[in-house]
Amino acid sequence: MHPRTRELLTYLQEQRTVLREAFDEVPPQLRERALARGRWSAANVIEHLAIVETRIAGRLSNAIADARDAGVAAESTADAVLPSLNVRRVLDRTTRVNAPDAVQPTGFTADEAWAALESATGKVRDALHAGDGLALGTLTLPHPVFGPQSLYDWFGFIGAHEARHASQIREIVSELR
C-alpha cells in the first residue's frame, strides 16, 4: 500500500473515532431529538454524513476508474499529504453552512443513520484503495463551496467533515444538559 493511501486511511479512522466518541456522549434516548425547529439531532448529523460520504465515494470511484482507464501516472512521491490539505476551513464552525436539499437528513433513527454511515465508509475506503498508488493530486473534482479540489483533498475533506460534525454533536450534547 502506498504511504499516502495508508496516511489517509489512518486519518479517516482517527476522525471516525472522534465522531463516534462525540456521538456516544449523547444519551441514546436523546439521539433523535432536535433542540429546535430547523436544527438537527445527533442522528440527523450522522445521516447527513452518510448521505454526503455515499455521494462523494461514488464521484471519487468514478473519477479514479476514469483516470486509471486514461493511464493516469503513478504517485511519484511518498511525502505526507495531510500537511498540504487545507482542512482548517472545513473544521471552522464560525461560518455556518446550510446543507443543500440533496444531503439533508430524511429522518433515520440513530441506529439506521450509523449503519448508513458505516456502509458509506466502506465505499469511501474502496475508492481510496482503488486509487492506491495513483497520482491523486493531479486529479480534481469541483466542490460546491471550495471549488476544484484534488482527490487527496476530497479524502481529507471527508475526515475533516466528520470532525466538523463531531464538534456539532458536542454542541448538541452541551445544550441537552
The helix or strand, by DSSP H or E, that contains position 142, with its residue range, turns out to be strand 140-143
Q: What pLDDT is stored for residue 98 in this prediction?
A: 83
Q: What pLDDT was estimated at residue 109?
A: 97
pLDDT, tens digit, for every residue of 57-99? 999 999 999 999 999 999 999 999 998 887 888 888 887 778 8
Cα angle: 160, vertex 12, 107; to 5 degrees: 70
Q: Domain ranges in the chain?
A: 3-176
* CA atoms 161, 167, 172, 176: torsion sign: positive
In this prediction, residue 65 carries a pLDDT of 98
- Residues in the chain predicted with pLDDT less than 70, given as ranges, are 177
Please tell me the predicted confidence (pLDDT) of residue 13.
Answer: 98
- CA separation for the pair 38, 92 (Å, rounded): 21
The domain defined by 3-176 folds into Four Helix Bundle (Hemerythrin (Met), subunit A) (1.20.120)
Q: Side-chain half-sphere of 27: how many Cα atoms within 13 Å?
A: 7
**pLDDT for res 95:** 78
Give the pLDDT of residue 28: 95
pLDDT in the model for residue 142: 95
